[in-house]
Amino acid sequence: MQQPNVRIIDAGSVGRRPDDDNSDEGGIPDNEKMRLIRESGILHQIPKKARQPSQASAANGPPLGEDYLFLAILYTIPFTTVYAIMDALIHQQYNEEATFTEVSLRVLKVAPVLFALIYLTNKYRKQIWMRMLLPGVSAASGCYLLHLINNSPAYGIMRQCPGLATIWIYTVFIMDLLPALGSLAGVGLYYWLTRPVPKVKT
């Protein structure tokens, strides 16, 4: 009695091209592969899996650029350090002793103000009024800093310059390139117009 010709398909051969096998007997036609894929339901599961990363990121919280509280904490640390360095350098320039305790106390007083400034500027950075305000604040702080250096006594410089310098540096940092360059150009123009003119000996 002749036995029926039964073809056994190896599970490992599913998804392989016929030329990947050593012989042509183990190959599956393309239409058979597509039928198996459609019946398995894999195609219907792909969009659902593709949406899972966005759902996970939404569950983990807002992106870094929109977490304004975290940005305020992150940026307050280096800019309070900038304030402390400017304070110590100005005291050193005028031969005034600035102890670690004095500088630390001034930094603790300035840190909440810097935190509020950084939080608000990052939160409303994309607003039109903030984009117009930041260049003005930057140019004003830079020009007033130059005015203090050229015209104020040493005590006034020591009191106001560290804060003005920190605000100036921060506003330039937070702005886009073109507004930052414009504010720096305004400060440069102010310096050129008000620079001390050397006296000519006769």
* CA angle, 118 then 85 then 89, to 5°: 140
pLDDT above 80: residue 33: no
Residue range 98-105: mean pLDDT, rounded: 88
- SS3 state at 197: coil
For residue 200, what is the DSSP state?
Answer: P
C-alpha pair distances (Å), 2 with each of 6, 114, 184: 12, 92, 96
Q: List, in order, residues 6 or more apart from 38 with CB less than 8 Å away.
A: none
Which of 45-49, 83-87, 112-116, 180-184 is the least confident region? 45-49
Distance CA 195, CA 150 (A): 8
